[in-house]
Structure 1
């Protein structure tokens, strides 16, 4: 290290120097100053050749102005290591120490470093940021032959103001911000320390307060959180919880624990509460977001344009002229309604296009039921169609173009509280043909779940609760069943039996996107259901997915009186119709033969692994 006893080392300000000047015996220094260049490259000695051994200390200093922060990005990283967790292990250790929280361009033996890194690009974080205007890096190489090229990266000095919170910090040790519409109608907010990694085991609270005639709209432009595969709701994931109201007791709109971009939410009334919780998982960059207080009138005023002959039932918000065809539907005006559009070939012989925009609030999602769908399409083509678009996306996640032929109902559901439907008639109408397009819409807060003889979990994003005291059996389903389930949705089904009761789940239908036996493989990104005998997370769980008949799970039996099932869909655009299942509370005194006759899945159950070895042997022997 560039230290001599407890002497202070100050890197010489050599204004973008690219040579290494010895300051103390065995220590060299290189400095980059924003007064001379706002960005550039840095690299290890001898790069792109292997760096030399026995480098006791090379200090890299990046110094910005008082209103700047520093960003360094590694493009190449190759430092010898036995393990990424043992960078400082032994005299042969090669490593790079990072100091990201300095007030001055100096270090001594008591200076705390932020992190130490070694290995390759797959083992490290790519980008690092300073909390102030200084970053220092300390590079060491041990003895022995070197076969590694070291590192190469870029640095930039950035304006610190672009990461300034536009909400007011509440005085005190707690991380809490108040965003009041009487102060500003729009602005930015960030995770604590952004763009630096947030600290482990911390919390931050953001309260948005509008006037009675306003709603809160927030958009997460980028989210990077530390998380493990599985549930957002249980476990030690870092997460963002959005509440539709002024505090944590308000209903949950969504829990976010995965990375993502451009994710939007809107409150039902004037307040919104956002809670960010870092549980101790590997911290990452966090989030950057934008908020805006919208006049409630702007979110509910329907368009006055229409193009085609329209027959609306109570609940729709359409009106029109012959110039265009745009319809707005708002949950503030009406929670459900019906709309029918007919292309009259005499009045409208040329191709037409209609846009239907749906705006819900809070945790609402839009469910469409296509009740009448008579279009002119050749069997092999889809010229006349209705396409579904999620908020902010250019690619349709659903397309409907076939006429009804007595085959029942088509259900569709939005991914959040916004939906746009584009109805296109790309062909000219024949004189004797009318094209009809009808749907019933409904803004739902229950995700379209079936919870027969149970209750919806209103204060969470999605779920059902069933108790033996209320009913011994019933039926439940995935969101929007029998239509396709929405993406990025997590639902929990909780079953509470009486003492000496067990829970049996039998699937009537099962269609989840994924590859059986690889349901939780991150490379597959399957949608799946998962079972557990415990409310908190446990490693002994089994997951099921797939769409083939043989993928449908056998009946599942709990070990005890409580059972939990989770449904989780990922963020890609491949869906299934989900599942419909029955549940039944059964006495645990039932005979073994009786349980076997029900087809209960008792063999190869992963969640038996917690049983001690002897008990497990006896259990398997008796099967």
Structure 2
């Protein structure tokens, strides 16, 4: 009798395991097979790959979902180490392609869920690293009727504490992304701020403001550590996504810098006790955005050599 009980326990465990990792039917997306990743089992990263990788994948894969689900205080990072999906059209809308969903609060998608991008081609054609903005991220893989020699994809994933990307300012009520930062005896004189959803892509059609106010004998120092906006030409004149910096309290004050391209280590220093930053995004395909640090700096310290970065609390943030 004990051996029979053990057999039933093993059978029940296998059934639960199959239901957990492979879900077919209407549970997530009608007609799709779904592989769920919700843990790395003590390792820093987990792995995933396309069917039969590194051998060529089969034709007529109608819908295969790779679903990554973290806890409510986590976001997901997916890194492709290999990517080879046959490109039949420039926009990847037919044939073999991967549809990605990065803005999910959970792992559920259906035919009405808005997707972030379509991917196909080689590793140089895609963003190597994807980030979710919420606790879920889904990759939806399709292959067409033609047999291909393409090998598919492989990569790693990990779960990251989303509090690492929390803006250290006061969010203004009834706004999506407006913040104010004030220097006082009760607040730190340095911190971080980010574009919405960073490190995932920012939303379309947004306007965010970041207002900094220091005390009388202080100035504001900003360092944009990374800026990745909509790709385009080098000029900022006709760009849909811009970061504008104003030397004062609002956008009516003098503009002292405009950022629109990819870059790192852009430093801004106010001339007075106020600084206003405006982030405008109207592009069809948003970028990752920006991460930046701020410091309320005594005026006497403005003569310090800015190349000596290892002696201040400001640069210890990096």
TM range (shorter): 0.7 to 0.9
How far is 1:172 from its partner?
1.9
How far is 1:392 from its partner?
6.8
How far is 1:53 from its partner?
0.8
Partner of 1:120: 122
Distance 1:56 1:288, change over 3 A: same
**CA offset digits 1:133-186 (Å, max 9, x no partner):** 111222111212111111111211111111011111111245311111123321
CA distance in structure 1 between the aligned counterparts of 2:75 and 2:165, rounded to whole angstroms: 10
CA distance in structure 1 between the aligned counterparts of 2:250 and 2:16, rounded to whole angstroms: 50
Runs of 4+ in 1 over 3 A off after TM superposition: 12-15, 24-27
Match of 1:276 among 276, 279, 289: 279
**CA offset digits 1:95-128 (Å, max 9, x no partner):** 2121222222222333332222222223322221
**CA offset digits 1:27-50 (Å, max 9, x no partner):** 433222236244122111111110
Distance 1:144 1:65, change over 3 A: same
Partner of 2:218: 214
Establish whether residue 52 from structure 1 lines up as the match of residue 58 from structure 2.
Answer: yes
SS in 2 for 1:116: strand
How far is 1:84 from its partner?
3.1
CA distance in structure 2 between the aligned counterparts of 1:13 and 1:40, rounded to whole angstroms: 21
SS in 1 for 2:204: coil
Please state which structure has a larger fraction of its residues in helix: 2
Partner of 1:250: 253
Matches within 5 A, 1:50-449: 50-85=56-91, 87-89=92-94, 93-182=95-184, 183-232=187-236, 234-280=237-283, 282-299=285-302, 357=305, 391=307
**CA offset digits 1:586-619 (Å, max 9, x no partner):** xxxxxxxxxxxxxxxxxxxxxxxxxxxxxxxxxx
- Contact 1:47–1:149 (8 Å) recurs in 2: yes
Distance 1:227 1:45, change over 3 A: closer
Q: Can you give the 5+ residue segments of structure 2 that lack an aligned partner in the other structure?
A: 1-14, 310-318
CA distance in structure 2 between the aligned counterparts of 1:281 and 1:145, rounded to whole angstroms: 33
Structure 1 length normalisation: TM-score?
Answer: 0.43
Partner of 1:549: none
SS in 1 for 2:124: helix
Q: Larger Rg: 1 or 2?
A: 1
CA distance in structure 2 between the aligned counterparts of 1:14 and 1:264, rounded to whole angstroms: 52
Partner of 1:36: 41
How far is 1:13 from its partner?
8.5
**CA offset digits 1:334-376 (Å, max 9, x no partner):** xxxxxxxxxxxxxxxxxxxxxxx5x8xxxxxxxxxxxxxxxxx
How far is 1:200 from its partner?
2.8
Higher RCO, Cα 8 Å, sep 6+: 2
Distance 1:97 1:263, change over 3 A: same
Distance 1:254 1:64, change over 3 A: same
SS in 2 for 1:144: coil
CA distance in structure 2 between the aligned counterparts of 1:50 and 1:35, rounded to whole angstroms: 26
CA distance in structure 2 between the aligned counterparts of 1:57 and 1:113, rounded to whole angstroms: 14
CA distance in structure 2 between the aligned counterparts of 1:109 and 1:206, rounded to whole angstroms: 37
Structure 2 length normalisation: TM-score?
Answer: 0.82
